[in-house]
Every structure is written in structure tokens, then in C-alpha cells.
């Protein structure tokens, strides 16, 4: 369909992220190696994320501040139904584990870019972030 502009506040995301990560934790299962499995899965999701052109919203399009989200787990994924202040569903996503991990990586990167505290994020997301690559020096001929 057509693009929808959703505004998600830091406060809102700080409440949502633990629920999404908990759902992924349940899918992996509680074992002594849960953190390691999660980190590897998160690294894999980051590595498999393909670059895509940005979605362009029309200039006349107004964004909607999201006030709540309904999470609907299913056998294959997790449904996210974003609602406005009136409780109207503005947009819905049905994400399987890999796309959810990729979306979480994108949101985590946005936290870093915005300078927001990352204390809400589990270590397996933060540690899956690749180390910054050193800038290449210009070669002059």
C-alpha cells in the first residue's frame, strides 16, 4: 500500500522493546547459551539486511503519533498493530523472527544516532552491532 508516517517516541519505544525482545527470547528458549544464541541470531539478521531505497512520504502526508500497540503472537510471527490516540489502528506489521530482528537493529541504530540511552536494550542486541570500520584515508595520485 501507500506509505504511512508513524511517530514513535522514546518513551513509547522504551516500553515496547522489552516485549519484542522477550518474544524473541521465548522463541530461542531458556538455556545456558540463550544470550549467545540471541547474539548470533541478531548478528545474522544484521548481516542479511539488504540495503533498500528509502521510503518517500508525500510532502502533504501528515504523521501520526502512536499511543499504543497491540501485540498478537501467532505460530509464525508477531503482529504489531499501531494505534493513534483514539485507539484506531493506523498500521499493522506481521513480522517473523528474522524481519523483527532486522527491524530491532534499525531501531537500535536510530537510538544510537539520536543519542538516546540504550539501557532498555538487551546485551545481545548491543553486542550484535558491528564495530565501526575505520575511515579509509584518501589516496592521492
pLDDT band at 85 (very low <50, low <70, confident <90, very high): very high
Whole-number pLDDT of residue 30:
67
Where does the chain have alpha helices with state H?
A: 10-28, 34-48, 97-114, 123-126
pLDDT in tens, 29-77: 767 677 888 898 999 999 998 988 988 888 888 899 999 999 999 988 9
Q: Are 43 and 124 in contact (CB under 8 A)?
A: no
101 burial type by CB count under 10 A (0-12 exposed, 13-18 middle, 19+ buried): buried
The neighbour count for residue 85, using CB atoms within 10 Å, is 10
Instruction: Tell whether the model's pLDDT for residue 126 goes beyond 90.
Output: no
Alpha carbons 46 and 109: distance in angstroms, whole number: 11
Torsion of Cα atoms, 36 then 37 then 41 then 43, to 10°: 10
pLDDT band at 140 (very low <50, low <70, confident <90, very high): very low
Listed range (15-29, 30-44, 83-97) with the worst mean pLDDT? 30-44
Whole-number pLDDT of residue 139:
41
Whole-number pLDDT of residue 132:
55
- DSSP-derived secondary structure letter, 68: E
Looking at every residue in the chain, the average pLDDT score rounds to: 87
43's CB contacts (< 8 A; 6+ apart) are 128
Whole-number pLDDT of residue 32:
66
Whole-number pLDDT of residue 66:
97
Amino acid at each position: 500500500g501507500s506509505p504511512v508516517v508513524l511517530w514513535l517516541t522514546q518513551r513509547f519505544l522504551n516500553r515496547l522493546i522489552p516485549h519484542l525482545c522477550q518474544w524473541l527470547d521465548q522463541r530461542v528458549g531458556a538455556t545456558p547459551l540463550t544470550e549467545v544464541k540471541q547474539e548470533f541470531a541478531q548478528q545474522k539478521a544484521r548481516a542479511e539486511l539488504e540495503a533498500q531505497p528509502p521510503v518517500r512520504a508525500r510532502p502533504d502526508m501528515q504523521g501520526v503519533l502512536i499511543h499504543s500497540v497491540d501485540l498478537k503472537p501467532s505460530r509464525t510471527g508477531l503482529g504489531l498493530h499501531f494505534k493513534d490516540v483514539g485507539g484506531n489502528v493506523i498500521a499493522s506489521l506481521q513480522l517473523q523472527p528474522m524481519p523483527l530482528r532486522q527491524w530491532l537493529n534499525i531501531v537500535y541504530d536510530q537510538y544510537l544516532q539520536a543519542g538516546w540511552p540504550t539501557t532498555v536494550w538487551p546485551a545481545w542486541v548491543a553486542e550484535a552491532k558491528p564495530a565501526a570500520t575505520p575511515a579509509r584515508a584518501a589516496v592521492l595520485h
